[in-house]
Amino acid sequence: MDISEQLAKIKRGAVEVISEEELAAKLKLKKQLIIKLGVDPTSKDIHLGHTVVINKLRTFQDMGHKIVFIIGDFTAKIGDPSGRSETRPVLGEKEILDNAKTYQTQVFKILDKSKTEVRFNSDWLYSLGIDGLLDLTKHATVAQMLARADFSQRYKAGGNISILEFIYPLLTAYDSISVHADVELGGTDQKFNLLMARDIQKDFGQQPQVVMTMPLLEGTDGVRKMSKSYGNYIGISEPPSEIFGKVMSVSDGLMYKYYELLTQDDLGEIKKLHPKEAKVRLAHSMVAKFHSEDAAKNAEEEFNRVFASKELPTEIEVYQLKSNDKNIKISELMTAAGLALSKKEAERLISQGGVKINGEKIAADKIVELSGETLLQVGKRKFKKIKVEG
């Protein structure tokens, strides 16, 4: 591909490239560029929202460039203040390392492991020492930090901002210095951190990295960014039927954004298809990507059986309920069986009429007495067989 074709492929779906001229100049050198992504392992699972940036890494990787995937095991102890209205809770070291293992397993469903360098930023940040840290703080001012939108809003609202949070972007900037990054990717909420790295690289005598920001992907509700805490996420390790069903639930308009950010398909060709056909194709491709082609076929058949033919799934997971718990509130049962993230979410689903027991809609949260086998359904896709022991 010539430079213009490479740029078009790289820029697909991107919000901003700072600067495109610098990126073109780096590409014209025809050398392997170092493409950096830093991720703090603050949760166990990766969802489709996370994969927007990872997919872009794969684009660079397929062009022959070197991917450096940095796991922020050190910076996770501080917590990224980006987009936060309050200080993040501190994670323990065991939780961070456990999450890091999961990230490494899941990220290679997209990236080529043999062509990816995984680094932990504790490798250089611990050895930075107090002298190095103090020297690093000379490269930024309090005025710069307070000009940052999230800090500015929190400060005006009278919220607390720790000195540690001021240090966070300096440490992630040092990551770029340590790996000599040519390009760094991140979501739009990461722009301040990415630009900080670009500025400090100059102070350390390095060529400044090109910054590329990608949009934050809306979740299945079509409103808020995809997040496990909002319950609108599609996890890449979820069962095939769950991934397929969730993708089918998104709006037609959002579906095209998913195509742009999560696939390499020609959008012009996709828009020639009937929206339902396009959505089925997208759902199929997501399951095939993160599971297998056979799993995608089975998930599609299951979806058609449950939604088109109004039949029950062929396989329904069983949840064993102890006999002394057979008198249980429905919201508690839903949470225990994994059909709701919290009792509050369960109560909301019940009030919205989205819960059925043995095919009958539940009008209010109440204590029920269960015996034998009971079919619990939440929404259109989630089923559990509740069996009482004994």
* Res 87 pLDDT > 90: no
pLDDT-derived band of residue 197, with 50, 70 and 90 as boundaries? very high
pLDDT-derived band of residue 209, with 50, 70 and 90 as boundaries? very high
Radius of gyration of the chain, Cα coordinates, nearest whole angstrom:
24
Mean pLDDT computed over 206-215: 97
pLDDT of residue 71: 94
* Res 390 pLDDT > 70: no
Most confident of 83-97, 180-194, 305-319: 180-194
pLDDT-derived band of residue 48, with 50, 70 and 90 as boundaries? very high
pLDDT of residue 79: 67
Select the more confidently predicted residue: 242 or 181.
181
Mean pLDDT computed over 199-214: 96
Stretch among 116-130, 133-147, 246-260, 297-311 having the lowest mean pLDDT: 297-311
pLDDT-derived band of residue 85, with 50, 70 and 90 as boundaries? very low
What value does the mean pLDDT of the chain take? 90
pLDDT-derived band of residue 81, with 50, 70 and 90 as boundaries? low
End-to-end alpha carbon distance in the chain: 67
pLDDT of residue 158: 86
Stretch among 56-60, 99-103, 126-130 having the lowest mean pLDDT: 99-103
* Res 86 pLDDT > 80: no
pLDDT digits (tens, 9 = 90+) for 217-233: 999 999 999 988 788 99
pLDDT digits (tens, 9 = 90+) for 326-336: 788 999 999 98
Residue ranges, CATH 3.10.290.10, the chain = 318-388
Mean pLDDT computed over 239-252: 93
Which CATH number applies to 318-388?
3.10.290.10
pLDDT-derived band of residue 90, with 50, 70 and 90 as boundaries? low
* Res 311 pLDDT > 80: no
* Res 363 pLDDT > 50: yes
Select the more confidently predicted residue: 1 or 200.
200
Select the more confidently predicted residue: 51 or 307.
51
Domain covering 3-214, topology: Rossmann fold (3.40.50)
pLDDT digits (tens, 9 = 90+) for 4-21: 999 999 999 999 999 999
Q: Tally the residues of the chain.
A: 390
Strand 66-71 relative to strand 116-120, pairing:
parallel
Mean pLDDT computed over 58-85: 84
pLDDT digits (tens, 9 = 90+) for 120-170: 999 999 999 999 999 999 999 999 888 888 788 888 888 888 888 889 999
Residue ranges, CATH 3.40.50.620, the chain = 3-214
